[in-house]
């Protein structure tokens, strides 16, 4: 047994190319030309094949690494064969090939029955183009049955998989067919427009979330009177100018505190291995309304930020989204998402979970309410919230406790709870 090093090949003018997928694992038997990793640059994605066959001994890179020509990918254990053995093997292969060529070909047709992917292999054969297409539709290549040779996944397989997921929703496909029975133009003038690219990309993800995740939505009203009084009284000590901080910054701080108290909300489900992934980081997603469509970027390590820093990060990230200058990686790796309609209007709604997250917080527009407090009629500022969560790992009692805890963090003792 000898050890062979597999290096990153010549990639032309590209430098610091990101590894987006590792297609093999240690101990796996691979053949020559089997795909090892997928690299993605600004212009394209490409799979790097193995130049040798053998058993993967040690993988030296991981997803997210930046690599260049000559970097070590992995080491292989392989058996050395003598020249006589190689010649003998080649002769046997040639003889077998001649015999097979003489056999009459029998073409059989059969229905391809999709089967669940094997969780043991952890890999799936597909071209970079197909993998990118699947990612844009929010599909996991490992979950898609391949109809081509050796289970390789094609673009048509991805489309069929997405269609099968939509069918699960119970009646949704039938509604689409019903709408197509009569052309819209029969009833009056119409106008056709292309669906914006952002909505094309997010649409399948929303369908997947709504059809696969058992949503439960709970509503709560939070008294934020003291918090709003504090927020509106902030000013710079030296200049005397008022400091504007969005309520979303306070809500974000409170949400991080709630995630620490209820770790099931800062988790994801690994459906392949049937496990729960608990995240030790606190990256919050924010729904940003842009002319191009809704975007949900992430702000990293919110637990390490002050309320003022969160407000600045929100403003900066929103501007990057509207200018289409944000890195696509910033749309991934979140703990939980906040969807705020406070600047527009409305009270309660049903926010759709952004997978692989398991919960989302919807925030409505705050309003004044007259209530009786200590024998007096007073006006209080009320914030309506809507919490949607995945019922597979979060039950109703935990959802209610989460809402109560969040209310306490934003209530009259907010300064103590949030250490403002």
Residues acting as catalytic residues? 391
Q: What is the 3-state secondary structure (H, E, C) of the chain?
A: CEEEEEECCCCCCCCCEEEEEECCCCCCEECCCCEEEEEECCCCEEEEECCCCEEEEEECCCCCCEECCCCEEEEEEECCCCHHHHHHHHHHHHHHHHHHHHCCCCCCCCCCCCCCCCCCCCCCCECHHHHHHHHHCCCCHHHCCCCCHHHCECHHHHHHHHHHHHHCCCCHHHHHHHHCCCCHHHHCCCCCCCCCHHHHHHHHHHHHHHHHCCEEEEEEEEECHHHHHHHHCCECCCCCCECCCCHHHHHHHHHHHHHHHCHHHCEEEECCCCEEEECCCCCEEECEEECCEEECCEECCHHHCCHHHHHHHHHHHHHHHHCCCCCHHHHCCCCEEEEECCCCCCCCCCCCCCCCCCEEEEECCCEEEEEEECCEEEEEEEEEEEEEEECCCCCHHHHHHHHHHHHHHHCCCHHHHHCC
Pairing state between β 336-340 and 284-286: parallel
Tokens of 38: 């997928």
Residue 35: partners with Cβ closer than 8 Å, 6 or more residues away? 23, 47, 48, 49, 50, 125
Q: Which residues are paired to 29 by β-bridges?
A: 55
Separation CA 205–CA 209 (nearest Å): 6
Distances (CA, A) of 295 to 137, 317, 354, 364: 15, 11, 11, 18
């Amino acid at each position: 047994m000898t050890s062979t090093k597999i290096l990153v090949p010549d990639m032309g003018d590209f430098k610091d190319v990101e590894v987006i997928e590792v297609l093999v694992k240690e101990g796996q038997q691979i053949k020559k030309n089997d795909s090892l990793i997928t690299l993605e640059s600004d212009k394209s994605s490409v799979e790097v094949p193995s130049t040798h066959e053998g058993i993967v001994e040690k993988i030296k890179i991981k997803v997210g690494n930046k690599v260049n020509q000559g970097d070590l990918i992995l080491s292989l254990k392989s058996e050395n064969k003598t020249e006589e053995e190689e010649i003998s093997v080649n002769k046997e292969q040639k003889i077998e090939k001649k015999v097979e060529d003489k056999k009459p070909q029998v073409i059989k047709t059969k229905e391809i029955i999709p089967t669940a992917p094997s969780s043991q292999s952890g890999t799936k054969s597909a071209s970079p183009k197909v993998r990118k297409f699947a990612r844009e539709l929010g599909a996991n290549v490992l979950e898609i049955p391949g109809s081509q040779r050796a289970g390789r996944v094609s673009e048509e397989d991805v489309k069929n998989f997405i269609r099968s997921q939509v069918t699960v929703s119970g009646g949704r496909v039938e509604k689409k067919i019903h709408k197509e029975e009569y052309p819209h133009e029969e009833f009056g003038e119409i106008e056709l427009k292309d669906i914006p690219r952002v909505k094309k990309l997010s649409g399948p993800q929303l369908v997947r979330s709504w059809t696969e995740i058992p949503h439960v939505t709970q509503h709560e009203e939070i008294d934020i009177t003291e918090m709003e009084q504090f927020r509106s009284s902030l000013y710079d000590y030296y200049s005397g100018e008022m400091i504007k901080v969005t309520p979303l910054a306070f809500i974000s701080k409170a949400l991080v505190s709630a995630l620490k108290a209820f770790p099931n909300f800062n988790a994801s489900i690994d459906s392949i291995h049937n496990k729960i992934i608990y995240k030790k980081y606190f990256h919050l997603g924010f729904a940003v309304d842009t002319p191009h469509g809704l975007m949900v970027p992430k702000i990293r390590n919110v637990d390490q930020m002050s309320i003022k820093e969160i407000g600045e990060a929100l403003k900066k990230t929103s501007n990057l989204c509207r200018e289409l200058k944000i890195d696509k990686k910033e749309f991934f790796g979140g703990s939980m998402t906040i969807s705020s309609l406070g600047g527009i209007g409305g009270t309660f709604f049903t926010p759709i979970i952004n997978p692989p997250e398991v919960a989302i917080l919807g925030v409505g527009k705050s309003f004044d309410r007259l209530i009786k407090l200590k024998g007096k009629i007073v006006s209080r500022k009320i914030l309506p919230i809507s919490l949607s969560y995945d019922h597979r790992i979060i039950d109703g009692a935990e959802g209610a406790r989460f809402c109560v805890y969040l209310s306490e963090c934003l209530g009259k003792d907010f300064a103590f709870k949030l250490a403002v």
